[in-house]
Amino acid sequence: MEKHRQPDHSPDHGLHHNHLAAQVRRAGFTEKDHAHSSHDHAGMVADFRGRFWISLVLTLPVLLLSPAGGHGFGLIGAIVFPGARLILLALSSAVFFYGGWPFLTGLAGELRQRQPGMMTLISLAISVAYFYSAAVVLGLHGNVLFWELATLIDIMLLGHWIEMKSVMGASGALKALVELLPATAHRLAADGKQHDIAVSELHPGDRVLIKPGERVPSDGLILEGRTSLDESMLTGESRPVARGPGEQVIGGSVNGEGAITLQIAKTGKDTYLSQVIDMVTRPRHLAPGHKT
């Protein structure tokens, strides 16, 4: 997936694109970034879904052919015949290499970045189970762990499928977030005169006037005035919170009854809203074939 670009500070920013694209840019993202992220998530959902169902189908004969070993499960060890272990090895190999492939490639990625995580843990578990069981089939003394291997892969694929679906569902929340920022701001000059400019032209240190009912254009510090701010869409706080001189406010919150003068502290990708958007759009796990 492409890296997020720096916010566009050009004067004609957003004039030739639709409203959503302009809002995304003001939050520190491009329209291409958002579309690419949605495409990646959709691809991962389809990939994990397909691997889960195919692996689940292959797991049934693995359960039927696996030695019971005193486990007492009804399906395990239900079918016994000469050569069953070789067939079991072949079926389990298909589950391991096909169903486990996202985790194996995830392991390689985490090791390259020197950041072992969940993919490393899952890959080690399924790899030890598979190669040990394969060695047992080929002559090593011990018990095979093929049904444990297959069911673990199925559960992990299901979990990642559900996770990717939840990330896809967050796209609607992303649209709501990027629409929180206003298109323009009332910047105050040194002589106190007010100039309406695009939010993308704001810089840290600028002073802006926020009138009652308007949205805060960016993160900053109140210099003058007292008011209450509705931050429910950003923080979940259901009631408006009182703010006065010296207190910080979050870009995207709605000003209440009083006019305030704000000194801009953060813009673009450094703002609280942009960091939330970054967290929503960035996939935690990548399916095979997807690159950062």
Write out the chain's pLDDT in tens, 292 residues.
333 333 343 333 333 233 334 444 444 444 444 455 555 667 888 999 999 999 999 999 999 998 875 555 667 777 878 889 999 999 999 999 999 999 999 999 999 999 999 999 999 999 999 999 999 999 999 999 999 999 999 999 999 999 888 877 766 666 666 777 888 999 999 888 999 999 889 999 999 999 999 999 999 999 999 999 998 877 777 789 999 999 999 998 999 999 999 999 998 888 888 887 777 666 554 444 444 3
Cα–Cα distance measured from residue 134 to residue 171, given in angstroms and rounded to the nearest whole number: 43
CA separation for the pair 287, 292 (Å, rounded): 11
**Strand residue runs (E) in the chain:** 184-188, 194-198, 207-210, 220-224, 227-230, 241-243, 248-249, 254-255, 260-264
| DSSP, residue by residue, 95-138 | IIIIITHHHHHHHHHHHHTT---HHHHHHHHHHHHHHHHHHHHT
Give the dihedral sign, CA 88/89/90/95: positive
Long-range contacts, 135-140 (Cβ 8 Å, 24+) = 137/85, 137/86, 137/88, 137/89
What pLDDT, on the 0 to 100 scale, is given for residue 232?
83
pLDDT at 155: 97
**Token code pair at residue 290:** 């997807």
| Predicted local confidence at residue 219, as pLDDT | 94
CA–CA dist 251, 270 (Å, integer)? 11
Is this structure's pTM higher than 0.85? no
Residue 164 has what pLDDT? 84
Name, in order, each residue with C-beta under 8 angstroms of 237's C-beta and a sequence gap of 6 or more.
Answer: 231
Q: How far apart are CA 148 and CA 206, in angstroms?
A: 61
Domains annotated for the chain, with CATH where assigned, are 31-176 (no CATH), 203-266 (2.70.150.10)
The pLDDT value recorded for residue 26 is 44
pLDDT of residue 228: 94
Which stretches of 236-287 are assigned E, i.e. beta strand? 241-243, 248-249, 254-255, 260-264
Instruction: Collapse the DSSP code of 158 into the 3-class scheme (helix H, G, I; strand E, B; otherwise coil) and give the result.
Output: helix
Residue 280 is predicted with a pLDDT of 65
